[in-house]
Amino acid sequence: MPPQKKKFLFVNRKAPYGTIHAHEALEAILTGAAFEQRISILFLDDGVFPLLKEQNSGDIGLKDFSPTYNALSLYGVENIYVDEESLIERGIASDELSIKVELKTTKEVCLIMEQQDVIFNF
């Protein structure tokens, strides 16, 4: 019997562009997905900002990687969670996000974290 695949959670906690964290997280997620791992993603705190629609970073000389989040489903990543409280604190409504996500309460977020084998932080 093949060994049971581990459960990986990628936690995104940083805004895009100001630091490289959000973009690096996405690259790591896609690489993990290419190896068919059991991947979940959690967008928490400032990590919800990269999901806003209509980003256009041409004028600041950086690549706009927000369209790439739409490819996650094609890569087989299905568990995409967003901390609802983080959205509210930042004045963002869920329909302003560019992809379909599952909204989670603080309590649910804690549970999701505890259920993982490995957590990657960005």
- C-alpha–C-alpha distance, residues 49 and 74, integer Å: 22
- C-alpha–C-alpha distance, residues 3 and 57, integer Å: 43
Asked if 121 is part of the footprint of another protein (rule: CB under 8 A), the reply reads no
**Closer residue to another protein, CB minimum distance, 54 or 114:** 54
Asked if 25 is part of the footprint of another protein (rule: CB under 8 A), the reply reads no
Pull the structure tokens for residue 13. Answer: 């906690």
- Closest separation in Å from C-beta 1 to another protein: 24
Site for another protein in 50-89 (CB under 8 A): 52-60, 62-68, 70-71, 74-75, 89
Site for another protein in 90-109 (CB under 8 A): 90-92, 96
**Closer residue to another protein, CB minimum distance, 9 or 51:** 51
Asked if 12 is part of the footprint of another protein (rule: CB under 8 A), the reply reads no
**Closer residue to another protein, CB minimum distance, 1 or 58:** 58
Annotate the chain with DSSP letters as a single string. -PPPPPEEEEEE-S-TTTSSHHHHHHHHHHHHHHTT-EEEEEE-GGGGGGGBSS---GGGT----GGGGGGTTTTT--EEEEEHHHHHHTT--GGGBSS--EEE-HHHHHHHHHT-SEEEE-
Footprint on this chain of another protein (rule: CB under 8 A):
13-19, 27, 30-31, 34, 45-46, 49, 52-60, 62-68, 70-71, 74-75, 89-92, 96
